[in-house]
Amino acid sequence: MQDGFVKVAARTPEVRVADVAFNVDQCVRQARDACADGAKVVVLPELCLTGYTCEDLFWQDALLDAAQRGLYAFAEQTSALDALLFVGVPWRVNGKLYNCAAAVCCGDVLALIPKTHVPNYHEFYELRHFAPAPAPGYGFVELGQGEPVPFGTNVLLRCSTMPDLVVAAEICEDLWAPNPPSIAHAMAGATVIVNLSASNAIVGKAAYRRQLVVGQSARLVCGYVYTSAGWGESTTDVVFAGHDMVAENGTLLAESAPFASEDAISEIDVAALVAERMRMSTFRTALGSVDGDGPEYCDVPFSLGRERTQLTRHVAARPFVPSDGAERDARCEDVFTIQAWGLAKRLEHTHCSTAVVGVSGGLDSTLALLVTVRAFDLLGLDRNGIVAVTMPGFGTTDRTHGNATTLSDALGVQLREVSIVPAVRQHFADIGHDERVHDVTYENCQARERTQILMDIANEEGGMVIGTGDLSELALGWATYNGDHMSMYGVNGGVPKTLVRHLVRYVADTCDNDAEADILYDVLDTPVSPELLPANEDGTIAQQTEDLVGPYELHDFFLYQVLRRGFAPRKVYRLACYALGDTYDEATILAWLKVFYRRFFAQQFKRSCLPDGPKVGSVALSPRGDLRMPSDACATLWLAQLEEL
What's the pLDDT tens digit per position in 598-608?
A: 999 999 999 99
d(C-alpha 228, C-alpha 474), whole Å: 48
Active-site option among 27, 35, 40, 46: 46
Helix axes 363-379, 514-524, angle to 10 degrees: 150
Taking residues 169-190, what's their average pLDDT?
96
46 is catalytic: yes
One-letter amino acid of 542: A
d(C-alpha 85, C-alpha 581), whole Å: 34
Predicted confidence at residue 288, as pLDDT, reads 60
Predicted confidence at residue 547, as pLDDT, reads 87
Q: Which CATH architecture has domain 5-302?
A: 4-Layer Sandwich (3.60)
Residue-wise pLDDT tens digits, 550-566? 999 999 999 999 999 99
Predicted confidence at residue 489, as pLDDT, reads 97
For all residues of the chain together, what is the average pLDDT? 94
d(C-alpha 619, C-alpha 558), whole Å: 12
In the chain, which residues fall in CATH 3.40.50.620? 325-643
Active-site option among 48, 54, 105, 115: 115
Single out the residue of 502, 497, 616, 621 nearest to residue 553, CA to CA: 497
pLDDT band per the 50, 70, 90 thresholds, residue 128: very high
Taking residues 64-72, what's their average pLDDT?
97
Q: How many CB atoms lie within 10 A of CB 487?
A: 27
pLDDT at 597 over 80: yes
pLDDT at 336 over 90: yes
172 is catalytic: yes
Kindly state the percentage of the chain with pLDDT values over 90.
86
Predicted confidence at residue 54, as pLDDT, reads 95
pLDDT band per the 50, 70, 90 thresholds, residue 221: very high
Burial class (CB in 10 A: 0-12, 13-18, 19+), 238: middle
pLDDT band per the 50, 70, 90 thresholds, residue 491: very high
Predicted confidence at residue 284, as pLDDT, reads 81
In the chain, which residues fall in CATH 3.60.110.10? 5-302
Q: How many CB atoms lie within 10 A of CB 643?
A: 9
Looking at domain 325-643, what is its CATH homologous superfamily? Answer: HUPs (3.40.50.620)
Question: Are 191 and 158 a contacting pair, CB within 8 Å?
Answer: no
Write down the pTM of the prediction: 0.92
Predicted confidence at residue 262, as pLDDT, reads 81
DSSP assignment string, 341-389: HHHHHHHHHTT---EEEE--SSHHHHHHHHHHHHHHHHHT--GGGEEEE
Taking residues 353-373, what's their average pLDDT?
97
Predicted confidence at residue 32, as pLDDT, reads 98
Burial class (CB in 10 A: 0-12, 13-18, 19+), 388: buried
